[in-house]
Structure 1
Amino acid sequence: VCTTGTFYEMNHGTAAAQRDVYRTWWFALILATLGTNIFCAMMKRYPWKKHHTGFVMAHIGILTLLAGSLVSLHFGLDGNLALFEGETGDRVALLDKALQVALPGGSYASFPVVFEKDPPRPGHECRFSVPGTGVVLVAEEFLPHVALRESYEEAAAGGPALHFVLEAPFARQDSWLAAADPARSRIDFGPAAFAFLLAREGQDVAARARGAPGKNSLSFVLAPGGRLLYGLTTARGQVSQGEVVTGRPVETPWMGMKVTVDRFLERAAPHRTVSPAPPPEKDERRLSAVKVRLQGPRGRSNPEWVVWTEARKVAWESGTATVAYRAPEVALPFQVRLLRFNSDKYPGSSMAATYESWVRVDDPERGVSEHHISMNHPLHYRGYIFFQASFVEGEPMMSIFSVARSPGLPLVYVGVGLISMGVLWMFYLKPMLARRDAARALLAHKERESRHEAPSADAARGRPGAAEPASSGA
C-alpha cells in the first residue's frame, strides 16, 4: 500500500496522496491492524525470557514508530509559504481546501471540503450553514478542471479596456488590459511587457508612455480627449511613439513581432466564461471551480463560479458578501521576511540548477535572526522545517517554501532506535551471547568432568595397595 501511495504521489501530487491514500479511513484501519498484529505477536511470547530481548525491543520500536507517524499525520502541519522579495509573512497555506464566506456585518465561516471525492451536482447540493445568521452557503456544482476565459464587455459605467494580439513568426498571444484595474493593467509575456495607462489632464503623455530601459515594453496610454497612443521601448532604451488605430498592427523591432489592438472599449465591465476542460494528471496543475449561491430568509443570490484560490464578491441583501475557495491558513508564532532570492541555471538552458533564499525571522520570544535556505539545506526553527520547494520568475521574484511540523517525530526517532537495537540484538548480539554461554557451559562441563575423574583415579590406585597385606599373611 505504501509503495502504491508513493507512486500515486509522484503522479498526482502530495495533496492528492494525502486525500486519497494516507488520510483515508481504510489506511488508518490497515495501520491499526498492523499494530494489533505486532502487539499480539509480541504478547504471544509472554512471559518473555532473556533471549526474547531483541524480539521485544524491535516490536516495541515498530509500535512506537507507528504511533509517531499517526501523531504527525493527524496533528502535524504540512503546507506552503510563498513570499515575494521584501515581503513578510506568517501564515502557512495548508494542503486542504475550504469554502469561506464573509457576510456584511462581519460574520465569517470556513468549511473544509473535499469535492474531489463527493462533488455537488444538480439534485445533490452541498449546504453549509453560517452560524448565527440563518444564511446558508449552497454549493451547486463542481468542476475538477476548468478553462477560464476572461474578457470585457461594453458597459454603461466602468473604466477603459482594450484587447491586443501579439503575433510572432512562430507564436500568437492575446490578452485584455484594463487601465482602471491595477491587477489587469499590466502583463508580462516574457520577451516583452505590456501596460495600459491613463494620462491625466496636463500630464506629459510622451513621458507617461515611455517604458523603463532594460526590457522590451509597449505602453498604451489613453490621453485626455479620448486619443489612444502607444510608447514602444526596447531593452537598449530606444523609444518610438505613435497613435493607435484599431485593427492596424504596430511593427516592433522585437524579432519580427507585431502588436494589434483589435478592440477598444471606453467603458467596460469584466466578463468571464468558465467551462469544463480535461484535467491534468497532477492535482497541483488543476484549476477546479465550484458554483455557489447564498440563501437566507430574505431570498437568494445569483449563482457564481468561484475558481480555486480566488475570492468573489457576491451581491447580498443590502451589501456585498465575499465567497472564497482556497486553502485554509495557519498562523506561525513568528514572522518570516524574504530578504533575497537567487536562482542559478544550467549553462545554455533556462532550467534552474539550484535556487536559494535568504530570510529573516522576527520572533517575539527569540528575537531577530537571519538564515539561508537552499534545496538540500532546510531551515529547522522551533519545531518547524522550511524547505526550498519552488519559485516563480518575475519582478520581484517569489520564493515558495514547503513548511512542515511533525509533533510525532521524537516518537519516530525512538522507534527507529529501538528497531535498530532490536535487530542488532537478534542477529549479532544474541548469537554472540549464545556462543559465549555455550563456551561457558562447555568449560563448566569440562571442569566437572575433571573433578569427577580425579577421585576415581585415586580410588583405583588405593585398592591394590590394600590387598597386599592380606596376600602376605596367607
Structure 2
Amino acid sequence: MRKKLRALFLFFASLKLAVFVLLGTATVLAVGTVVESMYGMRAAHLMVYGTWWFGGILFLLGVNVLCAALSRYPWKPHQTGFVVTHAGILVILLGSVITQRFGVDGNLPVVEKDVNDAIALSDLKFVITNELSEQRKELPVPETGRPSHGNLMSVQVSPNHIVEIDTFYPRALFTETWEKSPVPGLGYPVVSLLLESSRFNVEQQLVAESPSGPTEFEMGPAIFSFQKLWDKKEEARFLNPIAKKETGEKEKGTVLIVLSGREYRLPINGLLGGWVDLGSTGHKIRATKYYTHAIVQENELVNKSSALINPAVRLEVRSKDGNLEHHTLFANFPEFPTLHRKLSGKNTVDGLKARMIAPRQRAEMGIVGRQRGVLRIAQSADDKKLLYVVQSRDGSVNGKGELPLNTPIETGWMDAKFTVLDWKPAAVRSVEPKPVDRIPDASTPYISALRYHIRDLASGTTSAPRWLYQGDLQRETLSNQRLVFSLTKDRLLLPFKVRLEKFMIGTDPGTTKAASYASDVTVLDSTTPRNGPVHISMNEPMEHAGFTFYQASYQKEEGKPTISVFSVNRDPGRLLKYLGSILLVLGISVMFYMNPHYFDILLGKKK
C-alpha cells in the first residue's frame, strides 16, 4: 500500500504531468480568448472559465506544483528559488479560488440626485411572484453561452400547472411589428410612410398615442407626425391650422397626458385658449398660466424672464364628474407633477399622468433662424379615413384633405413628396427576439430572453408559448392564482447607499463625442461614514468597505435624468494574488542567481 501511495505521489510530482497540465492550461486559455471574442465575456465564463473541468485542470496544476515542491524535501540552499517559485504559484491559485468563491463583480446604476444600493450581478434569475400572497420564488436560469433549445427547465407553480422553459437566447435583438388587431377598436393606429425626393428616400412607421412607439419624427427641415382624432371639432381644428405668420404666436410646447394606456399630446397654445376635450374620455383640460423661466419667490411661482430656461405650465383637469385637478408641470423636471398635484372634489381622474414637453430649440436642430415644414397625418374620429395637412416653414398651408393610400402627395418643399404605404386603424404590437450567436459589435446592447409554455396536468393541454425578456414581466392567472414571471439579473444589496450628486461629461474639442466622464458621489454609511462627495472618474476609482467602484458607462436620454453606471468589484483574494505574483518573480530571479554551479564554486568544489 505504501509503495502504491509513493508511486501515486511521484506521478503527481512528475515532469510529464507538469508538461501535460501546462499545455492543457495554455490551450484552454487560448480557446477561452477566442470564445470571448466571438460570443462575449459572459459566454466565455459559461463555456470555459466557469466550468467544472476548467476548475479540475487548475486543481490538477496546484496538486502537481505542490507535489513537485514536496518531492525535493528536505530542500537544499540552491533550491530556494525553486521552492519560492512553486510557493508563488500555489498562493496565486489560492487567491483565485477565494476570489471565485467569495468575490463580487457587478454593476451599480445610479440616477442623478438619487441613491441606489443594489448591485446587478451576472447570473440570471427566473422570478415567480404571487400577487395575492406576495410570495416570491427566485430560480437560477439554465444559462448557456449560445442559443439552446429543449426541455431546459420545469417549475410547478400550482397543483395542476407546470411552467416549462424550452428556449433560451443569451443574446437577442428584438424586431417590433404592428399587426392588425383581432378585436376591432382595440389597439393603436399605425401608418407606414414613404418620403422621397431627389436627395433622399426614407420609409418610417408612425404609431398614434402609443407609449411604446413614435408619434413623430424629424428629418432635415421638417417634422412629421401622426395622431388620433376623437370628434368632428378636432377634425375641423386639425384641417384648419392657424398659420404662425398670421398670429405671431410662439410655440409654447406640448402637454403629454397618459391615461388608461393611451397618450394624448396637446399643444399648450391651444390649452391656453380654454377647455379642450381629452379625447372621448369625457374629461376636459385647460392651461391657466405659462412660464418661460419659472422660479419661486415668497412661496409663489413667478416668471423671471422671457428666456426659455425653466418652462412650466399650470393646468386644470375637469373630470367627467365635474371635479377639478390642478397640476403644475415643469419641462426640466418631469417628476414634479406628482409633488405639485392638488385636488378639488372626491372623484378624481384615476391613473392620469401629465408631463410638459418644451418647445424645440432651433439652435440644437442646426437650423437657426428658420421655421420648419410640418406634415401632420391624423386618423378620423370614426376610424374610417386618414386626414393630412402640409405646412411650409412660415406656417402657411400647402395642402390638406383626405389622404388616400399608395398615392404620392406633393409637400411643396422643393421636390419632396410622401406616400402612405399601409394603414392599420387598430393594431397591436408584436415583439419577437432574434438570437445573436456571434457578436459582431461589442458596443451593441444585447439582452437575454427565454420562451416558456404552461402545461395543465388536469386537462393535459399546453398553452401557446410566450417570450419573457430580461427586465420584462408576464402575467398569468392559474387556479385562482395571479402570477407574475420576470427575468432579471441576480442582485446583491450593499451595506451602504451611494448617491449620485453630479455627472460630468468631457467632449472632444469641436464635437459632442464623449471623451471622458466622471461622477461626484456621496456614500451614505452609518457604520463607516465619509466626509463630503467623492470624485470617481475612468482612472480614479473609489474604495469603500472592501468594494471598489469604477466609472464604467452612463445612460443619457433627452428629458430624463442621467444615469451613471459603476462597475463594482470586491476581490478578497487580491492580496494573495499580488503576494503570489511577487513570490513568483522573486523565485525566478533567485533561480537565475542561486544555481548549483554558483554554490559549488562558493563551497570550493569547483574552481
TM-score bracket, shorter-length normalisation = 0.7 to 0.9
Is 1:125 matched up with 2:151?
Answer: yes
Farther off after superposition, 163-172 or 290-299: 163-172
Q: How does 1:61-210 map to 2 (within 5 A)?
A: 61-105=88-132, 106-116=134-144, 121=149, 124-130=150-156, 135-143=161-169, 145=172, 147-151=174-178, 153-154=180-181, 155-156=183-184, 158=186, 160-163=188-191, 165=193, 167=195, 169-170=199-200, 172=202, 174-177=204-207, 179=209, 182-184=211-213, 197-198=263-264, 199=266, 201=277, 202-203=284-285
Farther off after superposition, 392-401 or 183-192: 183-192
Q: Cα distance 1:16–1:48, how it changes in 2: closer, same or farther (>3 A)?
A: same
What is the one-letter code of the residue matched to 1:113?
V
Q: Which residue of 2 aligns with 1:462?
A: none
Q: Deviations over 1:408-428 (max 9, x none)?
A: 212212222322333343334
Give the Cα–Cα distance (whole angstroms) in 2 for the partners of residues 88 and 257 of structure 1: 50
Give the Cα–Cα distance (whole angstroms) in 2 for the partners of residues 358 and 195 of structure 1: 42
What is the one-letter code of the residue matched to 1:139?
I
Contact 1:211 1:232 in 2 (8 A): no
Q: How does 1:416-427 map to 2 (within 5 A)?
A: 416-427=581-592
Q: How does 1:275-424 map to 2 (within 5 A)?
A: 280-281=439-440, 285-297=445-457, 301-318=463-480, 320-347=482-509, 351-367=513-529, 369-395=532-558, 396=560, 397-424=562-589
Q: Cα distance 1:11–1:267, how it changes in 2: closer, same or farther (>3 A)?
A: closer
Give the Cα–Cα distance (whole angstroms) in 2 for the partners of residues 265 and 212 of structure 1: 30
Q: Tell me, what secondary structure is at the counterpart of 1:51?
A: helix
Q: Which residue of 2 aligns with 1:465?
A: none
Q: Tell me, what secondary structure is at the counterpart of 2:94?
A: helix
Q: Tell me, what secondary structure is at the counterpart of 1:93?
A: strand
Between structure 1 and structure 2, the one with the greater Rg is: 1
What is the one-letter code of the residue matched to 1:289?
A
Farther off after superposition, 273-282 or 331-340: 273-282
TM-score, normalising length from structure 1? 0.73
Q: Deviations over 1:322-341 (max 9, x none)?
A: 22233222222222233333
Deviation, structure 1 residue 98: 3.0
TM-score, normalising length from structure 2? 0.59
Q: Tell me, what secondary structure is at the counterpart of 1:422?
A: helix
> Which structure 1 segments of 5+ residues have no match?
443-474
Give the Cα–Cα distance (whole angstroms) in 2 for the partners of residues 321 and 233 of structure 1: 53
What is the one-letter code of the residue matched to 2:567?
S
Deviation, structure 1 residue 15: 0.9
Determine what percentage of the aligned residue pairs are the same residue.
27
> Which structure 2 segments of 5+ residues have no match?
1-27, 228-262, 267-275, 278-283, 288-312, 314-354, 366-371
Q: Which residue of 2 aligns with 1:33?
A: 60
Give the Cα–Cα distance (whole angstroms) in 2 for the partners of residues 290 and 194 of structure 1: 35
What is the one-letter code of the residue matched to 1:71?
I
Give the Cα–Cα distance (whole angstroms) in 1 for the partners of residues 100 and 437 of structure 2: 32
Q: Which residue of 1 aligns with 2:359?
A: 212
Give the Cα–Cα distance (whole angstroms) in 2 for the partners of residues 109 and 257 of structure 1: 57
Is 1:271 matched up with 2:430?
Answer: yes
Q: How many residue pairs were aligned? A: 432
- Structure with bigger helix share is 1
Q: Which residue of 2 aligns with 1:449?
A: none
Q: Cα distance 1:244–1:118, how it changes in 2: closer, same or farther (>3 A)?
A: same
Contact 2:195 2:202 in 1 (8 A): yes
Q: Cα distance 1:262–1:323, how it changes in 2: closer, same or farther (>3 A)?
A: farther
Give the Cα–Cα distance (whole angstroms) in 2 for the partners of residues 372 and 98 of structure 1: 33
Contact 1:129 1:137 in 2 (8 A): yes
Contact 2:528 2:545 in 1 (8 A): no
Give the Cα–Cα distance (whole angstroms) in 2 for the partners of residues 252 and 84 of structure 1: 45
Q: Which residue of 1 aligns with 2:20?
A: none
Q: Cα distance 1:100–1:187, how it changes in 2: closer, same or farther (>3 A)?
A: farther
Give the Cα–Cα distance (whole angstroms) in 2 for the partners of residues 361 and 219 of structure 1: 50
Q: Which residue of 1 aligns with 2:5?
A: none
Q: Deviations over 1:287-323 (max 9, x none)?
A: 5532202335566543202234432233434454322
Q: Tell me, what secondary structure is at the counterpart of 2:137?
A: strand
Give the Cα–Cα distance (whole angstroms) in 2 for the partners of residues 80 and 190 of structure 1: 36
What is the one-letter code of the residue matched to 1:177?
V
